Structure 1
Amino acid sequence: MQVHRPFLLSSITLAVLSLINQASAADATPNSSEVSSTLVAPENKPAEAQQVVVTGSALGRGLRKVDAPYSITTATEEQMREAAPLSTADLFKIVPGVYAETSGGQTGPNIEVAGFPGGGDANYVTIQLNGAPIFPAPTLSFMDNSSMFRLDDTIDHMEALVSGPNTVLSNGQPGATMNFILKTGEGGDEGLLRTTFGTGNARRYDAYYGGKISDGWFATIGGFYRTDNGVRDSQFPTNDGYQLTGTLTRLLDDGKVTLYARTLKDKNLFFTAIPVSASAAGVPTGAFPGFDPLTGSLYGNETRFFTIQTAPGQTQNIDMANGRGADVHTFGIDFNQKIHDWEVSNKLNYVSGDMQTNAFFTGSVPQTMSSYLNAALTKANGNSATVIAGGLATGGTATYTDGSGAVDPNQQVLNAGAWYVDKQIRSTTDELKFSKELMKDHTFTFGTFLADYSSQDLWYLGNSVLMTATSNPKPINVILNNGAVISNNGIDGPVSYAQHDSYNGQKTAFFIADQWKLNPQLTLDAGLRYETQRVNATLGNITSGNIDSNPLHLYNQGTSILTGTYQSVTQTDHATSLTLGGGYKLTPNVNLYARVNSGHLMPQFDDIRGDAGTSATAPVQDIKTYEVGIKAVNSEFSLYASVFHKDFTGIQQSQILTNGSTVWYNYGSQTNGALFEGAWRPFTNFQLAFSGDYEDGKYTGFQGIDSSTGTSNNGNQLQRQPKFQSRLTPSYRVPTSWGSIKMYGTYSYIGKRYSDIQNQQVLPSYNTLDAGILAVVGDKLEFRLTGTNLNNTLGLTEGDSRVLGAGSGVIMARPIFGRAFEASVTYRF
């Protein structure tokens, strides 16, 4: 932190001094036409052609979306609402080349970027607020950027780009960046109150107000409170929490500064794989008997509270209602000012809080109660200490923990781990850049990006709970007739993976960029970034032991126990990224572009931990992207399309298996593909929007680090990524004497994927249908009704990540949510 403090203080001082110096300079608001001229569509030109974006631009100002020589998707506040996203990550479905698995609920998504091999989490996705990353590392275990952010009415619009110049800007994200721009109140006084009701007794209350508070000063405040039991009824709130955001903006001479603050406290259940019927080849075929894959849940009143033993005399309480939620506070300063001939921009962001996970993580497929008892007998009789203490067991009893009696021997049962993770996080980031037009149409930019971030982690993983393989299940106790306790209060396996670790990361990056408009048609740009990252980790040592000395307590033997001693690991990495692109205008609103990127992804905290105690060093991923595209806009039609090639090396990945062991492997990949999005407007008030992507990605250079992985995966399709996906969204607005009615819908198709690197766990293609209707009454009232997954399709987004290979007859998989409806009433003032 000492390295960064002088710079951060100087950045704050720069903004504050500008405020003070100009507060008395002009009490009148600057000429409004001068401030907003770039956002107004010139007469007789399509409005979309004049849309301005700031994400990916190295300049101190924005540029027209159609002129940007890279792929970028935008969404207004209304477009985001019409997309009916289930979460922040789910909004990525409108971005070609990004596939977000949001079947886990509001948080904890797996987000895949076309051609970027992942296998879980969101390594290649950054969420920004006003151009500043929420957290400089895109993903840590049990935490991604999107889980720290919620959508509400304080957001003005969204900009998302895949690859592009962000390889050298901000935190250097080579994959996808989704930038949310806050409202500032500059557009005029605006207020709203909204009440929303929906499936699962969902209730949400939103409020927002923003506008001018005095000459040159603007402010906003808004947020929400919500609670619901979810599409998957868990007998207690699935989501429960609130968010509050405020901004204060001062217009300056040739600039402005915005201060923003946001607090989020939201608890969200996290859903993992459930049993699904499958063919003999392991291909999913439908529902597992007695468990609806669209609405079923392993959570319930009987499986809400657990106490796990973590060491002799030590326990950890788990409340599943806490879920995988966030208690996070954000503060930022967004400063832009023209000083003489220089455009100066500074984006400072500070985040701190708690990211906690209390959730079930499933393991092996269900079996009958009698089969489980037979395995328990074999386990107990194979333990010499147990046999000495109680003799050989010849039978046992299985009873429900709630006292409701014995379990039927034919009852299907399964194991799910009641895992606990607590992450105390903190992050400070600052991007300062200077731009100057050296000569007409030739602009040079340079700047720095600094980050200081940390995570204090406490993990208890690998334990298991025995329960019925039903929705809202019942935990089960098992005792053998020799006195051996197999399951105690439902817990039949100990913590097998404990951690008490501390991490601190520091990034220092310097970048330069140059844009040169050679003539009215041709524009070239280039950027270079040099980054240094240093990670210091203090890792808790563990040992394996029994919680108590009773050899008949088989449920707590072999527990992973923290010793209270620590080891330190330090790793420093350096990398250089570059981007080179250009655009050629065939007409003012038709632009051809090409771009070459050489980017990187630095090792994350979890990569460093995986190399502790070995001679290995977590590698820096090298990522090369080549893209050629076209952008064309007129009043009737718009098209944004590109083809790409992506080449990866130096990827390290781990997988925790059912038995608690971890396998590691290194690999690379190569992918060819295409992205497209656009809209057709054949007549007034009607639009047919479309988007999608095709990709052919294969693993290369695969190296298994242990005997369970091997090298036979070269040439396999990148896991979890469909070769083809698309969306078709028609909308029609009907003006009336009292307002208007707008009807809209979306048909989505997701192609066949594989859940695993080995391409043995098939995830079949599926399609969904969403629809909505919006009635606007005058300029005050709005009524909206939306439905998601109206065709109630069974779509699977994840197989069994705890096993290698495919199952047969029954598999564990994670389905999308079933049909749901939502209705809202909005009053604007």
Structure 2
Amino acid sequence: MKLKYLLLAAAFACPVSAYAEDATPAKDGQSETAATQTAQPTKRAFTTGVARGRDLLDSAISTSALDEAEIEKFAPRSVSEIFRNIPGMRSEAYAGEGYSSISIRGLPIALGGAKFLQLQEDGMPVLEFGDIGFGQADQFLRADLTLSQVQAIRGGSASTFSSNSPGGVINLISKTGEEQGGAVELTTGLDYETYRMDFDYGGKLSDSVRFNVGGFYRQGEGPRATGYDAYKGGQLKFNITKTFDGGYIRLYAKFLDDKSPNYSQTPLRVTGTNADPHYANVAGFDARSDTMYSRYLPSNISMNENNQLTRYDYTDGMHSKVKSVGGEAQFELGEWTINERFRYSDISGAFRGTFLAPSLTGPASVVMGIWGGPGATLSYANGPNAGQVIANPSTLNGNGLVSSTTLFDADLNDLSNVTNDFRASRVWDLAGGKLTTTVGFYKAGQTIDTTWHFSSVFQEVKGGGEAAMLNLTSAGGVPLTQNGFYGFASSFFGNTRRNIYDVNYSVNAPYASLNYHAGKLAIGGSIRYDFGTARGQVFGADLGGGRKGLTSYDVNGDGVISAAETRVAIYPLTTPAPVNYDYDYLSYSLGVNYRIAEQLSVFGRYSRGGRANADRILYSNFISPTDGSLVRKDAAYDPVTQAEGGLKFRGQDAELYVTGFWAKTKEHNIGLDRSYRAYGVELEGSIKKGPFRLNAGATYTKAKITADALVAATVGNVPKHQADLIFQATPQFETERFTIGANFVGTTSSYAGDNNALKLPGYTLVNGFAQYRLTDRVQLTVNANNLFNKLAIIDAQDTSLPATGIVQARVANGRTVSASVRFDF
């Protein structure tokens, strides 16, 4: 039936970027993206995170670009799996279509998301802050056939040409109809359930008007077993461009409504030592292809933002909804080139995931002893064995494990943002060279309106999407759970984090740059002044002051208060805490580039940027719960200082870019007040000989914690998850009719925690691809993600070897093989 719908949709479907320094504007009204795509190889321009497009060998920046054709070969199952192919980028792609931890060049990842890195779509931020709790920027991005290119800039001028992006910018650039025609692609999983249709079409409506429209729809269980269709939804994008002498006007829109699971922790068995651990799957549960989502975990029951009992559909997973409209224009005003960009995005959704508490998920005897006391018993709360007592919990499912699962459940009521970027540039002839001046003003508003309503359940550890919920009864026969719920609160970690956020952030940033290019030498500098406000209120017992967070409530309406019903979390709605503070910081960047020869240049750059802190410092000692002011002024933003220098070579058949870097940063976060330092070297290159081509990159980093106001013992340690070496390589062999190759992504070992105890082993993931072109317009593709089914451990909740021998870990998806057919027309 699903395949029939997919084919029907296919039949129905058949009938830019942010700017480089010192260059001539795009001609004939093209966007700078189009100008980049049509440029000759020796004059390639880069247009993201800089002032105006210019050949990379004349620019003092570190950049990478991935084209649509190359991205398709990586077999990415999410945008974060695309990002891990960018040198210098640490993209922990385990969670599915969002909620990935992403960082760059040794900058820390404390609580997930993309804090020091900004994710953009067509030159504008997806969210102003990339690490919003349960609403991170990559959750609202999807790659489909409308994607033309992914550009990334690391450090450098990203600090001054975008707000809140001191580490860099990743920009997903859409097609805008430069080429007449389109494509339809049908994809299905060969060893997992997915059915997907992508389409794209663009072209000219007249000599001066062009358009592009496309998107995707998909449905299926997905790469891991959940027991239901965990993936369901799609995206539609449209843009139209009017060109004229000296410029263009473009309008665009995007609609995204997509549900996907969040692959969080799963139990793994660990033996050995902290320094040399050995990880393995537990019996009956494969961490690569199973998940704690289950057909027997259909819903969460909890109080909503009005303290009314509500049932939440847990099959929603990460539900991402975006409705955005925007426009951009470029035109000449005398000697000046004017650029204007605007976008409004109505963003909302939900996050429903599972969190396994460390040391509280493990052998049944341990879990029963902690929560039920001596002599406690277990029984099935639902599923085919509902009501049956588990006589021997130590042999349950062959692994004897019970999961104390916290249902991380949040409504993303409103994450809307509005952004506007206006800039003007002029090129002056000066002393035999060209001086480019740019001035601009950026203004944005970001809403964070979310409601967190966690609950606590017991589950068996069983694969196939068939894990039933469990009931716990005391030795005296007293039920301690209700239908598998131990509490309608975060009972497994102190009944905390029952929060409502209702805050609005404003961002204002005037900026300017000067760049002088004469002969082989280019010198430039830019400056940006960010200032903004945080206004609103938050609710939660974590704020203290006598605020009540628990109550008793007759959840099932039987007139009797059970033990579980005494653990019902509520919001202290009558005692909100205000949020009311201002912030400001200055960013600057200075760079010099020298073109030694046509194929070779060297550069150096020194920059200072900042990242304004948003919801991650609320409910902390940095904000006064009385008047909402900053208790610590320095917590309003976190500065990042960077230096980089390198060499760029671009020959006829080979390219090589080598960059040394140094960075230091401060970070304020929930339970965190710390400083870091990192340095290293980054390599990126390619070679092409006949039908053979190799693209490769590697980043060597040495990082350490230099100060910690809360946990002094971490000073001198390596930040968690920071490996010495990360790398990627894509060799391929291409003829007129077929292409075959592989994509290697890997990392050396790192630590699970900042205490530098438990090691996470290094790994290499191999993704294979084969393409066969039946005709010029029909192509068959087979992709294999994690071809050798590697157990790649990306994160562990436990930071030291647990006595139970069970860790709660996040791992990469196991092998998934898909096949697609693409029709171009």
- State the TM-score, normalizing by the size of structure 2: 0.88
- CA distance in 2: counterparts of 1:297 and 1:585, whole angstroms: 53
Query: What amino acid sits opposite 2:67 in the alignment?
Result: T
- CA distance in 2: counterparts of 1:41 and 1:335, whole angstroms: 21
Give how far 1:677 is off. Answer: 0.8
Give how far 1:788 is off. Answer: 1.1
- CA distance in 2: counterparts of 1:641 and 1:605, whole angstroms: 37
Q: Which residue of 1 aligns with 2:652?
A: 635
Q: Which residue of 1 aligns with 2:566?
A: 557
Query: What amino acid sits opposite 1:530 in the alignment?
Result: Y
The alpha-carbon distance between structure 1 residues 312 and 546, as it changes in their structure 2 partners (threshold 3 A), is: farther
Which of 666, 669, 686 is the aligned partner of 1:679? 686
Q: Which residue of 1 aligns with 2:728?
A: 727
Give how far 1:794 is off. Answer: 0.6
Which of 574, 577, 592 is the aligned partner of 1:582? 592
Q: Does 1:523 align with 2:543?
A: no
- Taking the TM superposition and a 5 Å limit, the aligned residue runs for 1:231-310 are 231-282=223-274, 283-308=277-302
Give how far 1:450 is off. Answer: 0.3
- CA distance in 2: counterparts of 1:377 and 1:425, whole angstroms: 40
- CA distance in 2: counterparts of 1:409 and 1:158, whole angstroms: 51
- CA distance in 2: counterparts of 1:272 and 1:192, whole angstroms: 35
- CA distance in 2: counterparts of 1:36 and 1:666, whole angstroms: 44
Q: Which residue of 1 aligns with 2:510?
A: 510
Q: Does 1:692 align with 2:698?
A: yes
- Taking the TM superposition and a 5 Å limit, the aligned residue runs for 1:328-339 are 328-339=322-333
8 A contact 1:114–1:721 mirrored in 2: no
Which of 175, 187, 195 is the aligned partner of 1:203? 195
The secondary structure found in structure 1 opposite 2:573 is strand
The secondary structure found in structure 2 opposite 1:435 is strand
The alpha-carbon distance between structure 1 residues 714 and 35, as it changes in their structure 2 partners (threshold 3 A), is: closer
The secondary structure found in structure 1 opposite 2:83 is helix
8 A contact 1:148–1:328 mirrored in 2: yes
- CA distance in 2: counterparts of 1:214 and 1:817, whole angstroms: 47
- CA distance in 1: counterparts of 2:101 and 2:382, whole angstroms: 34
The secondary structure found in structure 1 opposite 2:709 is strand
Q: Does 1:821 align with 2:817?
A: yes
- Residue by residue, what CA displacement relative to the aligned partner does 1:146-191 show, whole Å, maximum 9, x if unpaired? 111100111211211111211011324111311122111123x111
The alpha-carbon distance between structure 1 residues 602 and 777, as it changes in their structure 2 partners (threshold 3 A), is: same
- CA distance in 2: counterparts of 1:312 and 1:429, whole angstroms: 31
Give how far 1:228 is off. Answer: 2.1
- Residue by residue, what CA displacement relative to the aligned partner does 1:587-610 show, whole Å, maximum 9, x if unpaired? 122111111001111111231342
Give how far 1:493 is off. Answer: 2.7
8 A contact 2:758–2:799 mirrored in 1: no
Which of 473, 478, 483 is the aligned partner of 1:479? 473
- Taking the TM superposition and a 5 Å limit, the aligned residue runs for 1:571-650 are 571-610=581-620, 611-613=622-624, 615-617=631-633, 618-649=635-666
8 A contact 1:97–1:114 mirrored in 2: yes
Q: Which residue of 1 aligns with 2:628?
A: none
- CA distance in 2: counterparts of 1:310 and 1:77, whole angstroms: 43
Which of 69, 84, 89 is the aligned partner of 1:98? 89
The secondary structure found in structure 2 opposite 1:321 is helix
Q: Does 1:668 align with 2:668?
A: no
Q: Which residue of 2 aligns with 1:533?
A: 532
- CA distance in 2: counterparts of 1:520 and 1:312, whole angstroms: 67
Query: What amino acid sits opposite 1:525 in the alignment?
Result: G
Give how far 1:296 is off. Answer: 1.6
Bigger shift: residues 301-310 or 133-142: 301-310
* Pairwise CA RMSD: 2.3
- CA distance in 2: counterparts of 1:275 and 1:673, whole angstroms: 34
- CA distance in 2: counterparts of 1:355 and 1:306, whole angstroms: 16
8 A contact 1:284–1:763 mirrored in 2: no
- CA distance in 1: counterparts of 2:122 and 2:305, whole angstroms: 45
8 A contact 1:628–1:643 mirrored in 2: yes
- CA distance in 2: counterparts of 1:636 and 1:375, whole angstroms: 64
- CA distance in 2: counterparts of 1:700 and 1:578, whole angstroms: 24
8 A contact 1:72–1:161 mirrored in 2: yes
Q: Which residue of 2 aligns with 1:6?
A: none
8 A contact 1:202–1:227 mirrored in 2: yes
Query: What amino acid sits opposite 1:665 in the alignment?
Result: L
- CA distance in 1: counterparts of 2:244 and 2:214, whole angstroms: 24
Query: What amino acid sits opposite 1:765 in the alignment?
Result: G
Give how far 1:487 is off. Answer: 1.3
Query: What amino acid sits opposite 1:751 in the alignment?
Result: T
- CA distance in 1: counterparts of 2:639 and 2:70, whole angstroms: 35
Which of 418, 424, 428 is the aligned partner of 1:438? 428
- Residue by residue, what CA displacement relative to the aligned partner does 1:20-42 show, whole Å, maximum 9, x if unpaired? xxxxxxxxx95999997775465
Q: Which residue of 2 aligns with 1:382?
A: none
The alpha-carbon distance between structure 1 residues 732 and 638, as it changes in their structure 2 partners (threshold 3 A), is: same
8 A contact 1:233–1:296 mirrored in 2: yes
- CA distance in 1: counterparts of 2:29 and 2:350, whole angstroms: 48
- State the TM-score, normalizing by the size of structure 1: 0.87
Q: Does 1:420 align with 2:409?
A: yes
- CA distance in 1: counterparts of 2:668 and 2:33, whole angstroms: 48
8 A contact 1:196–1:204 mirrored in 2: yes
- Residue by residue, what CA displacement relative to the aligned partner does 1:207-255 show, whole Å, maximum 9, x if unpaired? 1111001120111110100012122111111211110000010002111
Bigger shift: residues 357-366 or 143-152: 357-366
Give how far 1:313 is off. Answer: 8.0
Q: Which residue of 1 aligns with 2:393?
A: 409
The alpha-carbon distance between structure 1 residues 541 and 94, as it changes in their structure 2 partners (threshold 3 A), is: closer
Which of 544, 547, 567 is the aligned partner of 2:552? 547
The alpha-carbon distance between structure 1 residues 93 and 35, as it changes in their structure 2 partners (threshold 3 A), is: closer
The alpha-carbon distance between structure 1 residues 203 and 38, as it changes in their structure 2 partners (threshold 3 A), is: closer
The secondary structure found in structure 1 opposite 2:535 is strand
- Residue by residue, what CA displacement relative to the aligned partner does 1:600-644 show, whole Å, maximum 9, x if unpaired? 111112313423446445342111100001111111210111000
What are the ranges of 5 or more consecutive residues in structure 2 without an aligned counterpart? Answer: 1-26, 490-494, 542-547, 626-630
Query: What amino acid sits opposite 1:728 in the alignment?
Result: A
- CA distance in 2: counterparts of 1:819 and 1:34, whole angstroms: 39
8 A contact 1:639–1:676 mirrored in 2: yes
Give how far 1:814 is off. Answer: 0.8
- CA distance in 2: counterparts of 1:367 and 1:725, whole angstroms: 32
- Residue by residue, what CA displacement relative to the aligned partner does 1:254-311 show, whole Å, maximum 9, x if unpaired? 1111111000000010011111111253424211222212112111211222323569
Give how far 1:653 is off. Answer: 2.6
Q: Does 1:807 align with 2:802?
A: yes
8 A contact 1:310–1:560 mirrored in 2: no
The secondary structure found in structure 1 opposite 2:416 is strand
- CA distance in 2: counterparts of 1:95 and 1:397, whole angstroms: 48
The alpha-carbon distance between structure 1 residues 172 and 405, as it changes in their structure 2 partners (threshold 3 A), is: closer
Q: Which residue of 2 aligns with 1:63?
A: 54
The alpha-carbon distance between structure 1 residues 33 and 239, as it changes in their structure 2 partners (threshold 3 A), is: closer
- CA distance in 2: counterparts of 1:532 and 1:409, whole angstroms: 58
Q: Which residue of 1 aligns with 2:141?
A: 149
- CA distance in 2: counterparts of 1:400 and 1:38, whole angstroms: 60
- CA distance in 1: counterparts of 2:801 and 2:560, whole angstroms: 36
Query: What amino acid sits opposite 1:630 in the alignment?
Result: L
Give how far 1:500 is off. Answer: 2.0
The alpha-carbon distance between structure 1 residues 473 and 39, as it changes in their structure 2 partners (threshold 3 A), is: closer
Q: Which residue of 2 aligns with 1:17?
A: none
The secondary structure found in structure 2 opposite 1:564 is coil
Which of 755, 760, 763 is the aligned partner of 1:763? 760
- CA distance in 2: counterparts of 1:161 and 1:308, whole angstroms: 43
- Taking the TM superposition and a 5 Å limit, the aligned residue runs for 1:330-409 are 330-365=324-359, 366-378=361-373, 396=377, 398-402=379-383, 403=386, 405-407=388-390, 408-409=392-393
8 A contact 1:167–1:173 mirrored in 2: yes
- Residue by residue, what CA displacement relative to the aligned partner does 1:390-442 show, whole Å, maximum 9, x if unpaired? xxxx6555334332512233232111111210121110111101101132411
Q: Which residue of 2 aligns with 1:455?
A: 448
Q: Which residue of 1 aligns with 2:9?
A: none
- CA distance in 2: counterparts of 1:398 and 1:113, whole angstroms: 47
8 A contact 1:133–1:171 mirrored in 2: no
